[in-house]
Structure 1
Amino acid sequence: MANASQRSLHPSKSFMNTINRESAQDVLDSVQRIHNLIDSIEHKQVEIEKAWSNMERNIDVLKEIDNLEEGVASVTNWILGPADSMLNAHYQIGFDVASSEELRLEHEKLELECRETYGKYAELLHKIDSISSDYLSEDLKSQRDFMDFVCRSFATRLEKRRNVLITSQRFFRLVSEYFDKTSEVFDKLIMGSRTCNVSNAGVKLMKLDRSQQKLEGLEQELVKEGEKLSDVLSMPVKDALCRDVLIDYGEDIVNIKDILDATNARKNIFNDSVELQKLTLKQIALVYTYESDVEQAISWLNDLFDVLVDSHVEIGCNVTEIQVQKQEHQSFQDTARGTYEYGCQLVNGAKVLRISCKLDLMSNMGLLSRLRQVWRQLRSVSQEQLTRLRVCAVFHKNVADVSYCR
Structure 2
Amino acid sequence: MNWQKQRQHVLDRLAFVPGGTDREGNALLVVSTSQVQECSYENLVSLLALLSDTLPPSTVFTVLLDTRHIHLKQLKFYLRACQQALYKKVRQVLIIQPEKFLDQQKINFDLIVSGYTLKTVLISMHKLSKFVDVNQLPEQFGGTLGYDPDAWLEVKKWQQYLTEIDADSSKHNSDDDQRLEEFVSKLQSTKRVEDEYSASLLKRSIREVKLKEEENSKEGLIKDHTAGVSDFLDWIEGSGEKWLNSLCQVADNVDEAESLVKQHEELTNKTKEIEEQSHQLAEMATRLMAACPQVAIVLQKTREQIRDVAEHFAYRVEAQTQFAVSNKTFREKVGEFIKKSDQMLEKVCAEDGNSVKTIEELTSTKKELDDLVNSMNVSFESAMDAGEETVAKARQYAEVLPTEEFVSHIASSLTYISQRQNRHNELASVKRLEQQQHIQLMTTYGDCDQAIKWLGELKETLHKEYSLSDIDEDAVRHLRTDRQNLDRTAISTYQYGKQLLSMAKNSERSSNKEGSSEERKEKLEAAWKELDLAIQNNEQRLKVVESFMATHRQMMDRVNEIERSLRERLRVSGKLNSITMSTDRKRLRNDIEELSNIGKMLSAQINADHTTTPQDRQTAIKQISDKIDEVMTAQRRMESLIGEEEEAGSSSSGKEEKTTPRKSRPLSKVPEEEGGDLSPVFPRAVRLLETNEGIAPAIRLSKNESYL
TM-score (norm 1): 0.69
Amino acid at match of 1:88: N
The answer to whether residue 272 in structure 2 is matched with residue 143 in structure 1 is: no
Q: Name the structure 2 match of 1:380.
A: 533
CA contact (8 A) 1:315 1:322 kept: no
Whole-Å Cα distance in 2 between the matches of residues 379 and 253 of structure 1?
77
**In structure 1, C-alpha distance between the alignment counterparts of 2:473 and 2:407, rounded to whole Å:** 97
Aligned partner of 1:148: which letter? R
CA contact (8 A) 2:228 2:281 kept: yes
Report the counterpart of residue 334 of structure 2 in structure 1. 175
Q: 1:328 to 1:311 in 2, by over 3 A?
A: same
Distance 1:109 1:343 in 2: 76
2:482 is aligned to 328
Per-residue CA deviation, residues 162-217 of structure 1 (Å, 9 max, x unaligned), is 22322333333333333332222122146556979461444444444444344334
Contact between 1:171 and 1:226, CA under 8 Å: does it hold in 2?
yes
Determine the C-alpha separation between the residues in 2 that align with 1:175 and 1:56.
62
- Decide whether the 8 Å contact of 1:178 with 1:219 is kept in 2: yes
Whether contact under 8 Å (1:201, 1:285) holds in the other structure is: yes
2:519 paired with 1:360: no
CA distance in 2, matches of 1:297, 1:184: 41
8 Å contact kept, 2:267–2:317: no
Matched, 1:88 2:245: yes
Q: Does 1:154 align with 2:313?
A: yes
Greater shift after overlay, 396-405 or 190-199? Answer: 190-199
1:282 aligns with 2:436: yes
Q: How does 1:205-224 map to 2 (within 5 A)?
A: 205-224=366-385
Structure 2 Cα separation of the partners of residues 61 and 297 of structure 1: 112
Higher mean C-alpha displacement, 333-342 vs 133-142:
133-142
Take 2:501 and 2:528, find their aligned partners in 1: how far apart are those partners? 14
- 2:376 is aligned with what amino acid? L
Which position in structure 2 is the counterpart of 1:311? Answer: 465
Question: Counterpart of 1:179 in 2: which secondary structure?
Answer: helix
Equivalent residue for 2:273, pick from 116, 122, 126: 116
Q: For 1:5-404, what aligned pairs fall within 5 Å after superposition? A: 62=218, 67-125=224-282, 137-189=296-348, 191-192=350-351, 197=357, 199=359, 200-226=361-387, 238=400, 256-318=410-472, 321-362=475-516, 364-402=517-555, 404=558
How far apart, in 2, do the equivalents of 1:61 and 1:236 lie? Answer: 47
The RMSD of aligned alpha carbons is 3.8
C-alpha distance in structure 2 between counterparts of 1:396 and 1:263, whole Å: 84
Which letter does structure 1 place at the counterpart of 2:528? W
Q: Where does the alignment leave 5 or more consecutive residues of structure 1 unmatched?
A: 1-54, 239-244
- Contact preservation (8 Å) 2:232, 2:274: yes
**Greater shift after overlay, 69-78 or 57-66?**
57-66
- 1:154 Cα deviation after fit: 0.9
> Alpha-carbon deviation of 1:323?
3.7
Distance 1:164 1:58 in 2: 48
Is the partner of 1:174 in helix, strand or coil? helix
The answer to which structure, 1 or 2, has the higher relative contact order (CA under 8 A, 6+ apart) is: 1
Q: Give distance in 2, aligned partners of 1:169 and 1:114.
A: 21
Change (3 A) 1:116 1:134: closer
Residue 293 to residue 131, structure 1, CA distance change in 2 (3 Å): farther
Which structure dedicates a bigger proportion of its chain to helix? 1
Structure 1 residue 158 displacement after superposition: 1.2
Q: TM-score, normalised by structure 2?
A: 0.42
Q: Which amino acid aligns with 1:121?
A: S
The CA deviation at 1:391 is 1.9
Letter in 1 for 2:325: I
Deviations 1:209-236 (A, max 9, x none): 4443443343344345446656777876
Larger-Rg structure: 2
Q: In percent, how many aligned pairs have the same letter?
A: 20
Deviation at 1:320? 5.2
**Alpha-carbon separation, structure 2, partners of 1:141 and 1:350:** 93
Q: Against the structure 1 CA distance between its residues 128 and 344, is the aligned structure 2 distance closer, same or farther, given a 3 Å change threshold?
A: farther
Higher mean C-alpha deviation, range 228-237 or range 153-162? 228-237
Instruction: Report the CA distance between 1:400 and its aligned residue.
Output: 4.5
TM-aligned CA distance change 1:372 to 1:269, over 3 Å: same
Structure 2 unaligned runs (5+)? 1-210, 559-587, 589-634, 636-708
Q: Give secondary structure in 1 for the equivalent of 2:513.
A: coil
- Residues 301 and 375 in structure 1, CA contact (< 8 A), matched pair in contact too: yes
> Aligned equivalents of 1:317 and 1:90: distance in 2?
104
